[in-house]
A = this chain, B = another copy of it.
Amino acid sequence: MKFTINRTAFIKELNNVSRAISSKTTIPILTGLKLVASEVGLTLTGSDADISIETILHADNPDNQLAVESMGAIVLPARFFSDIVKRLPEDNLTLAVTEGFQTEITSGNASFTINGLDANNYPHLPEIDGTDSITLAGNVFKELINQTVIAVSTQESRPILTGVHFTLSGNELMAVATDSHRLSQRRITLPESASTDHDVIIPGKSLVELSRMIGDDNPDVEMRLSENQVLFTIGDRLFYSRLLEGNYPDTSRLIPTESTTTVEFDAHALLSSIERASLLSHESRNNVVKLTLDPAGKTATIFGNSPDVGNVEEELAASGFEGESLEISFNPDYMKDALRSFGQTVIRIAFTSALRPFTLVPTEDQTNFIQLITPVRTF
Contacts and interface: CB of A to CB of B under 8 A. Distances in A.
Given A114-B309, A309-B115, A279 B87 contact: yes
Interface in A257-280: 272-273, 275-276, 279-280
Contacts of A316: 109
Residue among A77, A83, A84, A276 facing the most chain B CB atoms (10 A cut-off):
A276
Nearest to A87: B276
A236 B310 CA distance: 32
A235 B323 CA distance: 59
Interface residues on A, range: 20 to 34
A283 interface: yes
Nearest to A302: B110
A118 interface: no
A327 interface: no
Nearest to A269: B89
5 closest A-B pairs by CB: A114-B310, A110-B314, A109-B315, A112-B312, A113-B310
25 contacts: A77-B309, A80-B279, A80-B283, A84-B276, A84-B279, A84-B312, A87-B272, A87-B275, A87-B276, A87-B279, A88-B276, A89-B272, A109-B315, A109-B317, A110-B273, A110-B276, A110-B312, A110-B313, A111-B313, A111-B314, A112-B312, A114-B309, A114-B310, A115-B309, A115-B310
Interface of A: 77, 80, 83-84, 87-89, 102, 109-115, 272-273, 275-276, 279-280, 283, 308-317
